Amino acid sequence: MRLLILAVGHARGTQEAALAEDFLGRARAMGRRLGFPAVTAEEVPVSKKHDLKTRMAEEAERLAARVPDGAHVILLDARGKGMTSEDFAEMLAALRDAGTRDLAFVIGGPDGLSPLPKIRAGRSLAFGPQTWPHLLARAMLSEQVYRALTILAGHPYHRG
């Protein structure tokens, strides 16, 4: 199963981008052996529209256009449901074992995330009730993907 992180905003040159890429690189190396042949991240630009609703709708359209056909979609949202790292790993394994070809995680921009046109999300995921900067959420998600793969591999990185 291919894993894709779709996010609004450009992270290049930031410390958060370096952190996210470090974990994604580790996840790529480990994932190949576990049935996750690709672990990637893509960015779409922040909308420059002045009206909030219009701006968020434009970003949602850009994100939706990048979601692979038939992908299982998980939205990152502070109102979503939290999961333990073990539960997250189990979810990835269950989706992989069920034959899911693509799993897309979607992170909105600074204003949040509007519903994605023509895309039905499988769930919403939260990293707790706090609001996190979208660049930090990207790094945290990258770490959790790597952690989940280490759990599935029985690797000692996760000692929870």
CATH number at residue 50: 3.40.1280.10
Is there a domain that residue 72 lies in? yes
Is there a domain that residue 142 lies in? yes
For Cα atoms 36, 37, 39, give the angle at the middle one, nearest 5 degrees: 75
Is there a domain that residue 51 lies in? yes
Q: Confidence band (pLDDT; 50, 70, 90) for 78?
A: confident
Q: Confidence band (pLDDT; 50, 70, 90) for 160?
A: low
Instruction: Kindly report, residue by residue over 111-150, the tens digit of the pLDDT.
Output: 889 999 999 999 999 998 888 888 999 999 999 999 999 9
| Residue 18, both tokens | 């370096």
Closest to 116 in 3D by CA, of 106, 125, 124, 126: 106
Judge whether 2 and 103 are in contact, CB under 8 Å: yes
Is there a domain that residue 159 lies in? no
CB neighbours of residue 150 within 10 Å: 20
Is there a domain that residue 141 lies in? yes
Number of domains in the chain: 1
Is there a domain that residue 127 lies in? no
Is there a domain that residue 128 lies in? no
Domain that holds residue 43: 2-118+133-153
The whole model's pTM is what?
Answer: 0.94
Is there a domain that residue 68 lies in? yes
